[in-house]
Amino acid sequence: MSSPSPSYSAAIDATDLLYAWPGKSPVIDIAHFSVARGERVFLRGPSGSGKSTLLGLLGGVLNPARGRVCLLGTDITALSAGERDRFRGEHLGFIFQMFNLIPYLSVLENVLLPAQFSPARASRIPGGDLAAEGRRLLAALGLGSTDFLDRPVTELSIGQQQRVAAARALLGRPGIIVADEPTSSLDYDSREDFLRLLMNECKTQESALLFVSHDTSLGPLFDRNLSLREINRA
Ligand SMILES: Nc1ncnc2c1ncn2[C@@H]1O[C@H](COP(=O)(O)OP(=O)(O)O)[C@@H](O)[C@H]1O
Ligand SMILES: [Mg+2]
């Protein structure tokens, strides 16, 4: 039920999407928003404008008051909560501002986590060699040195931790990567480095990337730039 239809469809396709936090006026009211498969989109908007709320809706973590979200051809708004969780585990990779790494796990164990939660995602790993794929992704994100792998993540710098979080999101080739202000804690040079590596790997894996940030300086690196205000009537 959670497998996407084999026909061509967008990575993300949201229609008539309305959301209000309890007791507040709507923060999201979007007629239509879509991201093509493999497309890398930068969505900008000031703090408090609803970017994280929109990502919560697109990821199926929040339920819209109205509207429909189709991911890779599956209408996730028609799924049960359990089915939605499974779909998310299989097809979405999240990168958060605060990384959300598990502090008592090693670097490699953090990267391999999605495979534990989603057998379908593990099954997409070439040759089934999880550790090899974890190492490949870490190297693709600039953490190629093997002495990183078994270290606790907490011993890494902030910039290195964010690369670990990106490798984790990319594991098992999810069709969609969602990044919520992932560069806010990085300085300008590491921001651009990080972003180039992330975008290259999304291209290699053919994952769509929806990247939200209030930092407009990164926009030109993307296939498409959009302001939340352009699509939001709220
Ligand atoms: N958990 C929450 N409960 C209530 N209101 C919230 C919650 N999260 C966000 N909001 C409100 O929704 C609006 C948009 O917030 P958010 O989506 O976090 O914006 P952004 O990510 O662009 O900074 C803000 O007014 C914020 O106060
Ligand atoms: Mg936010």
pLDDT in tens, 138-161: 999 999 988 888 889 999 999 999
Q: Considering the entire predicted model, what is its pTM?
A: 0.94
Q: Which sequence spans correspond to the domains of the chain?
A: 12-231
Alpha carbons 113 and 3: distance in angstroms, whole number: 21
Whether the CB-CB separation of 171 and 121 falls below 8 Å is answered with yes
Q: Could you tell me if the CB of 207 is within 6 A of ligand 1?
A: no
Q: Is the CB of 52 under 6 A from ligand 1?
A: yes
Alpha carbon distances (Å) from 104 to 56, 68, 81, 101: 26, 38, 29, 9
Regarding the beta carbon of 182 and ligand 1, being less than 6 Å apart is answered no
Q: What is the pLDDT of residue 148?
A: 82
Q: What CA–CA distance (Å, rounded) separates 78 from 159?
A: 38
**Token pair of 159 as six digits:** 């910039």
The fold for domain 12-231 equals Rossmann fold (3.40.50)
How confident is the model at residue 17, as a pLDDT? 98
Distance from Cα 144 to the centre of ligand 2, integer Å: 30
Ligand 1 atom, smallest distance to 50 CA: 17
The CA 20 to ligand 1 mean position distance, Å, reads: 10
Question: Could you tell me if 147 and 178 are in contact, meaning their C-beta atoms sit under 8 angstroms apart?
Answer: no
Q: pLDDT value at position 6?
A: 44
Q: In this structure, what are the phi and psi dihedrals at residue 35, rounded to the nearest 5 degrees?
A: -130, 130
The closest residue, in CA terms, to atom 5 on ligand 1 is 21
Q: Is the CB of 45 under 6 A from ligand 1?
A: yes
Q: How far is the CA of 201 from the centre of ligand 2 (A)?
A: 24
Closest CA relative to residue 81, chosen from 148, 2, 181? 2
Chunked into runs of 10 residues, the chain (234 residues) has average pLDDT values of: 58 98 97 97 96 96 96 96 96 91 95 94 93 96 88 91 96 97 87 94 97 92 96 95
pLDDT at 99 (0 to 100): 81
Find the ligand nearest to 50 CA: 1
Give 69's contacts (C-beta < 8 A, 6+ positions apart): 12, 13, 14, 17, 57, 58, 60, 75, 76, 77
pLDDT recorded at residue 146: 80
**Residue 51, ligand 1, Cβ within 6 A:** yes
Q: Which residue's alpha carbon is at the smallest distance from atom 12 of ligand 1?
A: 50
